[in-house]
Structure 1
Amino acid sequence: MKIITLVENKSISEAFKNEHGLSLYIETETHKLLFDVGASSLFAENANKLGVDLSQVDALVISHGHYDHGGGLKKFLEINDQAVIYINGKAFENHFSKRANGEAYIGLDQELYANPRFVFLEDDFVIDDELCIFANVQGERCRSTANADLLMEKDGQRMVDDFCHEQNLIIREKNQLVLVAGCAHRGIVNILDHMALNYDLLPTVVIGGFHLYNRSRKKPEATALIEEIGNELKKTAAIYYTGHCTGDEPYQMLKTMLGDQVNYLATGSQVNI
């Protein structure tokens, strides 16, 4: 399995532009898939530089309804006419972020909603023997406090987002079980608990952001929470690749705690599993 980071907040070199967003190209024995498409068309620009032919992608999974993960959807639809796009049914609802000067819209482009290539999911969904999507993660352990600044709109009222629009991907290949999460807004610890309780599965590799940095307030999560998460991750046998919304300081703390068990994914990087 090959995983190439097309978009992330940082880059491995000046050859690749970066942005606040996430897009991963994943090539397995039977699939060429994308997980998220970043905030703009940048994922496509970097794909060209990295030799990734996006027209051959057969499946796209959108982790949740925020622009930094689905902002490149229009561009993807222009360059790929075959991929099935798996997205939660609530992802196109209105989402906002609290900012110093008010509330900003951070949702998806509503004009794309009617595209017939979207497969709108409400719950867990098995694509095939290799790929499975799950949602509706419960549990309140080690939850990010930065979620309090992220809002959803329901019946015309804005309220704290419950992230029912968030979904995660499981990839099975040979002796590897890979969990891919976008921002883990429901909490990476709760997501791992959900896999163990509902599927009796423990991943060998975990990829994605942990949402330990409040971008609006430019503030990382409290040290105690990061250490609590680090201690939970240390109990597992998984290797972690993270970045995007994890934040620099939280990542460095996790790196100190977990050593080689955790690594950073930057734009242009490739991981072979």
Structure 2
Amino acid sequence: MEIRIITDNYTDSLGLLAEHGFSCLIKVKDRTILFDTGQGEGFINNIRLMDIRKADAIVLSHGHYDHTGGLSKHLAECAEISKDIYASKYVFDNHLKMDDGKTYDFIGFGGQRSEVERRFRLHLNTEMTEIFPDIFLSGTIERSFEFDSDGKLYAEIDGVTAKDRFRDEQYMIIRDNDGIHLITGCTHCGPENLINHAKKLFPEQKILSLTGGLHLFRSDGSYTEKVISVLRNEDIKTIATGHCTGIDAVFAMKKALGDRVHFTKAGMKISF
């Protein structure tokens, strides 16, 4: 299996652009999957330079602009990659960010549903779904532990505005002979909840790797230490993270867990 980071907040590769967003290309067995589409311009620049022309499916982890923007802004170009989109049925939820304590900015998918439905085949779920053999989407993530990933994030659902519980968020699970690999977009549910949920879905499987954002950049150091403890106890061998994890949290994880932790950057390849 190979994971190639297309979009991240950082890069050190000639010609590639960094932007606040996440996207990766996953090659496993005979399948190629585009997981998230970044924010927009950086994503399109990078897939051109990387000469990415083929994917069997597009997966959207949740409906924030920095994971769907490359799709909503560049529908025609993305349509050449795949016409099948897998996402939560709540992916078009009205995600908001409180700007100044009084007003909200829209940070969701935008008014794109009719255009997306016209150009693509939408496969929407809420429960765990096997999209290809041994490749699963988690469905809505059960919260066993409280975690407020970001005090600024809200959602308007059925006319009511409240703290966003991210009912549209899900992650990908890839199963092989030795265990499972987890790929996540932002982990707004909290890393502890994501790992606990994966263990409930696959109770007999060891978690081999965790790739993607862990949304710790607005969390205090004590919670980062708690996450490090969970990762250490699970003995996850490969943790590739960046984007919304935040530089301080990544370095704290790397200091505690050593070579198991890899700081993701656009252009990076991770092989298993």
TM superposition score normalised by structure 1: 0.90
State how far apart, in whole Å, the 1-side matches of 2:43 and 2:56 are.
16
Change (3 A) 1:142 1:251: farther
Residue 19 (structure 2) aligns with: 19
1:153 maps to 2:156 = yes
Query: Does the Cα contact within 8 Å between 1:189 and 1:229 map onto a contact in 2?
Result: yes
1:44 maps to 2:47 = no
Query: Does the Cα contact within 8 Å between 2:63 and 2:91 map onto a contact in 1?
Result: yes
State how far apart, in whole Å, the 2-side matches of 1:61 and 1:174 are.
23
1:72 maps to which of 70, 85, 90: 70
Q: Which amino acid aligns with 2:241?
A: T
Over residues 229-259 of structure 1, what are the superposed CA-to-partner deviations in whole Å (9 max), with x where a residue is unaligned? 1011001222110010000111111111111
Residue 271 (structure 1) aligns with: 270
State how far apart, in whole Å, the 1-side matches of 2:13 and 2:109 are.
29
State how far apart, in whole Å, the 1-side matches of 2:11 and 2:176 are.
28
1:84-233 equivalences under 5 Å are 84-100=84-100, 102-113=103-114, 114-115=117-118, 116-141=120-145, 143=147, 145-175=148-178, 177-200=180-203, 201-214=205-218, 221-233=219-231
Query: Does the Cα contact within 8 Å between 2:21 and 2:38 map onto a contact in 1?
Result: yes
**What's the CA shift for 1:52?**
2.1
The DSSP-based 3-state class of the residue aligned with 1:211 is coil
Over residues 167-214 of structure 1, what are the superposed CA-to-partner deviations in whole Å (9 max), with x where a residue is unaligned? 110112454521001101111111111111232133211101110113
Q: Which runs of 4+ in 1 moved over 4 A?
A: none
Query: Does the Cα contact within 8 Å between 1:91 and 1:165 map onto a contact in 2?
Result: yes
The DSSP-based 3-state class of the residue aligned with 2:150 is helix
Of residues 57-66 and 134-143 in structure 1, the stretch that sits farther from structure 2 once superposed is: 134-143
Query: Does the Cα contact within 8 Å between 1:210 and 1:246 map onto a contact in 2?
Result: yes
**What's the CA shift for 1:14?**
4.5
Residue 241 (structure 2) aligns with: 242
Residue 218 (structure 1) aligns with: none
Change (3 A) 1:204 1:111: same
Change (3 A) 1:61 1:5: same
TM superposition score normalised by structure 2: 0.91
Q: Which amino acid aligns with 1:237?
A: D
Of residues 157-166 and 168-177 in structure 1, the stretch that sits farther from structure 2 once superposed is: 168-177
The DSSP-based 3-state class of the residue aligned with 1:138 is coil
State how far apart, in whole Å, the 2-side matches of 1:161 and 1:26 are.
28
Query: Does the Cα contact within 8 Å between 2:178 and 2:206 map onto a contact in 1?
Result: no
Runs (5+) with no aligned partner, structure 2: none
Query: Does the Cα contact within 8 Å between 2:142 and 2:193 map onto a contact in 1?
Result: yes
Residue 260 (structure 1) aligns with: 259
State how far apart, in whole Å, the 2-side matches of 1:76 and 1:33 are.
17
**What's the CA shift for 1:111?**
2.5
Q: How many pairs does the alignment contain?
A: 264
Residue 217 (structure 1) aligns with: none
State how far apart, in whole Å, the 2-side matches of 1:30 and 1:249 are.
37
